[in-house]
Amino acid sequence: MPQQVLLVRHGETDWSQAGRHTGHTDVPLNAAGQLAASGLQPPLAAQTLALVLCSPLPRDRETCARAGFGAAITIEPDLMEWDYGDYEGLTSDQIRLKDPDWFVFDDGCPGGESPQDVAARADNVIQLLGNVQSSAAIFAHGHLLRVLAARWVGLPPSFGAHLLLDTAAVSLLSHYHGRPAIRIWNAPAAALHPA
């Protein structure tokens, strides 16, 4: 496995700011998201990465480019956000008006993906990372990255519910005595190089 995997959630969009489920809809970074994504570049500049994987969606590609890795990008379709199906564009409160007990990490989305579907894609990415002997980075989406971190440490996708992740936040997957571990979670990029 790679020594470490840097996870970066894309910058803020109008939909993410409003809490709307944004799967495959192309919603661009807003001004705050562009600023935060550009702010990733100075602290991430010291990272030496053998592989930079990115979701195909423009908000992730722009975040990656603003962070300084646009020239090294490899698009990975398995890093697409959860397919929310019938719930695309809705907030959790709007969904719970129809289905009061709904929870994405348990139930998935009608017309979209189940938690197991997303976990299978995350497992594919982890397997791909197994070919990298040094550090890698992933630029992707909140729910997908939360499931990926859960699968990294061998837990079910539902564990992602316990891993809150802000826009333009960084996390670091690593190892502890040869076992997969989460070293940093939901931090500003400066946390990678504490003073």
Q: What is the per-residue pLDDT for 132?
A: 87
3-state SS assignment for residue 74: strand
Q: What is the per-residue pLDDT for 194?
A: 58
Residue type, 56: P
pTM of the model: 0.96
Pairwise CA distance, residues 79 & 145, whole Å? 8
Concerning whether 162 is annotated as a catalytic residue, the answer is no
3-state SS assignment for residue 164: coil
Q: What is the per-residue pLDDT for 119?
A: 98
Residue-level pLDDT, tens digit, the chain, 195 residues: 568 999 999 999 999 999 999 999 999 999 999 999 999 999 999 888 999 999 999 999 999 999 999 999 999 999 999 999 999 999 999 999 999 999 999 999 999 999 999 999 999 999 999 888 889 999 999 999 999 999 999 999 999 999 999 999 999 999 999 899 999 999 998 888 754
Pairwise CA distance, residues 136 & 153, whole Å? 17
Q: What is the per-residue pLDDT for 192?
A: 83
Q: What is the per-residue pLDDT for 181?
A: 96
Q: Which is it for strands 170-176 and 5-9: parallel, antiparallel or unpaired?
A: antiparallel
| Residue 194, φ and ψ in degrees, nearest 5 | -60, 145
Q: What is the per-residue pLDDT for 69?
A: 96
Sheet of strand 136-140: strand arrangement: 73-75, 51-54, 136-140, 5-9, 170-176, 179-187
Instruction: State the helix-helix crossing angle for 58-66 and 31-39, rounded to 10 degrees.
Output: 40
Q: What one-character-per-residue DSSP string does 70-92 give?
A: GGGEEE-GGGSPP--GGGTT-BH
Residue pair 79/167 in contact (Cβ under 8 Å)? The answer is: no
DSSP conformational letter for 132: -
Q: Bridge partners of 73?
A: 52
Catalytic residue among 12, 81, 88, 113: 81
Concerning whether 12 is annotated as a catalytic residue, the answer is no
Pairwise CA distance, residues 156 & 191, whole Å? 27
Q: What is the per-residue pLDDT for 3?
A: 81
Q: What is the per-residue pLDDT for 2?
A: 64
